Structure 1
Amino acid sequence: MAKVLVGVKRVIDYAVKIRVKPDKKGVVTDGVKHSMNPFDEIAVEEAVRMKEKKLASEIIAVSCGPAQAQETLRTALAMGADRAIHVEVSGPEYETLQPFHISKILAKLALEEKVDIVLVGKQAIDDDSNQTAQMTAAILKWPQATFASKVEKTDGNLTVLREIDGGLETIKVKLPAVISADLRLNEPRYATLPNIMKAKKKPLKKMSPKDVGVDTGARIEIVSVEDPPVRQAGSIVPDVDTLVSKLKEKGHI
């Protein structure tokens, strides 16, 4: 049976209206509701379903971030993960943490824990990078199955239905492999109260990036964070000729 490592990220809740800080160096996070990245919830759910089908033997949830990331890990444990690893990164270091850093950490942990599958959400809803799964696979030199909408285990391999621009693609990957979960892979379960209580007793290991030999020094500088421009009001035109002339005036034709 496979051992699964699931990456989960603490993000600003999808229902919260994002506000830019006055200094234009980031977004307001203090006092703002956070939750598990929705695509990571799907990844955790898929891992739990694998265990329920006796395809997975153990699920390890990992999160890189400040102390509050432990709440996200407890949610993963309440959903069905067996244990958790919190790689603590906070302050300015966290502000400039990139998918490249996360990928190196996940790759090191995947080797240390001798896992067969690394499972993550296809992207985080805060930075929308969509890079972590691909870079983790590249660092490990493992096959990757990104944007998965269906995963089946056959003869020690995984058959994955992928969502691509032109429709759907079915691929077969050998284990060990990296998978990223797409929206239609499953419907995540709600953590029940008994499971939330049980999650408090499940092991949660704390460590730092240095413990796995990863340098999380800044590779980017945040120059400015701006609100998107306000969309201009539309106007009604009497006929096509007027529309064409207006488009010409504004340089759209």
Structure 2
Amino acid sequence: MKALVPVKRVIDYNVKPRVKSDGSGVDLSNVKMSMNPFDEIAVEEAVRLKEAGAVSEIVAVSVGPAKAQETLRTALAMGADSAVLVETDETVEPLAVAKILKAVAAEIEPGLIILGKQAIDDDSNQTGQMLAALMDLPQGTFASKVLVEGDYVKVTREVDGGLETVKLSIPAIITTDLRLNEPRYASLPNIMKAKKKPLETKTPADYGVDIAPRLKTLNVSEPPVRQAGVKVADVDELVARLKAMGVA
């Protein structure tokens, strides 16, 4: 069984984003980029399933600029067998990404599509669900545990009330949550081997997908600066201040 793992190139989670002076978006110039953390978890889970014998081949795919090859090479170094880059310099919205992934999946025919529940740059949390709808496949979102049993996969989901376990027929789509696993670091030998693994490059036009944006960004701004805390002398003053703020 093959596993398809979409990965996205985003600003490194350790970097504080800067907004462009004209408010048109986030400034990406001279900023460290890396794989979306939730996608790292997805790659790790696919590798673990392969090590357990449930998956035979892992294909990583990314939609983005040519520099996204670096992100795919990271996935290859972590354990993916091959990669596909759907190259475009345009900003691609979740629906267009889902349509591209559907076309890629039609070629690869994976048993499992494992992707991060959301990307940390736009926090859309839509691609996995849209892909499941387009492909008419069962989905297990916010997965904290994945267990393949024959022609089925059990997914333990994180929900508001606690945990929910669903049994999905394969092929299926899984989106990963933070508690699913701890991604491994790519070793130097694996990084060197990743340079020799196959990486195919295509474009959205090759799949007949229109990536024209449906949304228009009106303005991007920094969040308001958090106000400094205030020290109080005793409990009575604290209660008085809370009442004045309408909290107590």
1:155 counterpart letter in structure 2: G
Q: How many residues align?
A: 248
Choose the corresponding residue for 1:174, options 169, 173, 193.
169
1:208 pairs with 2:174: no
1:193 pairs with 2:193: no
Q: Tell me which residue corresponds to 1:10.
A: 9
Choose the corresponding residue for 2:178, options 176, 179, 183.
183
| Cα displacement (A) at 1:206 | 0.6
Q: Tell me which residue corresponds to 1:125.
A: 120
2: CA distance between counterparts of 1:249 and 1:210? Answer: 60
| Cα displacement (A) at 1:235 | 2.7
| Cα displacement (A) at 1:244 | 6.1
1:61 pairs with 2:60: yes
1:140 pairs with 2:139: no
2: CA distance between counterparts of 1:9 and 1:98? Answer: 12
Q: Tell me which residue corresponds to 1:217.
A: 212
Given the two structures, how large is their TM-score scaled by the length of structure 1?
Answer: 0.92
Gaps of 5+ in 1: none
1:140 counterpart letter in structure 2: M
Given the two structures, how large is their TM-score scaled by the length of structure 2?
Answer: 0.94
Q: Tell me which residue corresponds to 2:23.
A: 24
1:164 counterpart letter in structure 2: V
Percent identity for Structure 1 against Structure 2? 61
2: CA distance between counterparts of 1:244 and 1:4? Answer: 57
2: CA distance between counterparts of 1:198 and 1:245? Answer: 65
1:45 counterpart letter in structure 2: E
| Cα displacement (A) at 1:143 | 0.2
| Cα displacement (A) at 1:245 | 5.9
2: CA distance between counterparts of 1:46 and 1:30? Answer: 32
Map 1:37-186 to 2 at 5 A.
37-90=36-89, 93-94=90-91, 97-186=92-181
Map 1:229-244 to 2 at 5 A.
229-237=224-232
CA deviation string 1:57-110 (max 9, x = no partner): 1111000111110000000011111110001120xx22xx21111111111111
SS at match of 1:233: coil
1: CA distance between counterparts of 2:241 and 2:65? Answer: 51
CA deviation string 1:9-40 (max 9, x = no partner): 01100111111111111111111101111110
Q: Give runs of ≥4 in structure 1 deviating > 6 Å.
A: none
| Cα displacement (A) at 1:118 | 0.7
After TM superposition, the structure 1 stretch with the greater mean CA deviation from structure 2, 98-107 or 136-145, is 98-107
| Cα displacement (A) at 1:48 | 0.9
1:158 counterpart letter in structure 2: V
2: CA distance between counterparts of 1:121 and 1:24? Answer: 28
Gaps of 5+ in 2: none
1:182 counterpart letter in structure 2: D
2:137 counterpart letter in structure 1: W
CA deviation string 1:115-141 (max 9, x = no partner): 111110111111111111111101101
2:14 counterpart letter in structure 1: A
| Cα displacement (A) at 1:251 | 5.8
| Cα displacement (A) at 1:241 | 6.8
Q: Tell me which residue corresponds to 2:33.
A: 34
2: CA distance between counterparts of 1:235 and 1:196? Answer: 50
1: CA distance between counterparts of 2:8 and 2:196? Answer: 21
| Cα displacement (A) at 1:233 | 2.2
